[in-house]
């Protein structure tokens, strides 16, 4: 069994610790824990590891957020991984900071990375792990907020949420989405 975990974010040091890059941060921490290194490849940085007899492939698209679907589609085809074995890790402003929710499908809710995935992979039927980044921004300042760095207090809490997100990713790959949602969703 093969799984593809897609962490959404933007490449470049100016985006590294921003809320919008929580997908990249989650996969970086998972790769560190599994002692594997990302290598830049076609449309994404890629690494993989074995977990409970399964091959888990991690990608961080190098296409920038708004073209994430291009990388996801390429790697699904390249690795011959069906959509039901794909999980997208994404920031969500509608969820309080640090809270996590896994879903088997759903709308993009205005998220440009998810919109592009829907357009290029044929709809909303793919799993996603929504990582709450909160919504502490004035009206009309959403873009500035998601592209800003975490506060000091958020940064101190982040490792706990990242570790829970990793547990959820590994659960998705081993016990399936339903049991993982029941066990972990906030």
Is 111 noted as a catalytic residue in this protein?
Answer: no
171 HSE (CA, 13 A, CB side): 20
Residue 39: strand pairing partners: 46
Rounded distance between C-alpha atoms, residue 178 and residue 149, angstroms: 33
Rounded distance between C-alpha atoms, residue 31 and residue 35, angstroms: 6
Instruction: Using DSSP bridges, classify how beta strands 54-61 and 2-7 pair: parallel, antiparallel or unpaired.
Output: parallel
Of the residues 20, 46, 57, 111, only one is catalytic, namely 20
Catalytic (active-site) positions: 20
């Amino acid at each position: 069994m093969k799984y593809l975990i897609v962490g959404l974010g933007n490449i470049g040091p100016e985006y590294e610790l921003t809320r919008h890059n929580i997908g990249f941060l989650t996969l970086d921490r998972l790769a560190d824990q599994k002692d594997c290194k990302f290598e830049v490849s076609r449309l994404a940085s890629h690494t993989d590891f074995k977990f409970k007899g399964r091959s888990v492939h991690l990608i961080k698209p190098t296409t920038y957020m708004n073209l994430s679907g291009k990388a996801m589609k390429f790697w699904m085809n390249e690795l011959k991984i069906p959509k039901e074995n794909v999980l997208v890790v994404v920031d969500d402003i509608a969820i309080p900071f640090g809270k996590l929710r896994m879903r088997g499908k759903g709308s993009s809710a205005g998220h440009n990375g998810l919109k592009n995935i829907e357009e290029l992979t044929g709809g909303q039927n793919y799993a996603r792990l929504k990582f709450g980044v909160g919504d502490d921004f004035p009206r009309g300042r959403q873009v500035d907020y998601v592209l800003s760095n975490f506060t000091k207090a958020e940064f101190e809490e982040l490792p706990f949420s990242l570790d829970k997100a990793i547990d959820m990713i590994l659960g998705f790959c081993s016990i399936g989405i339903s049991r993982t949602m029941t066990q972990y969703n906030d």
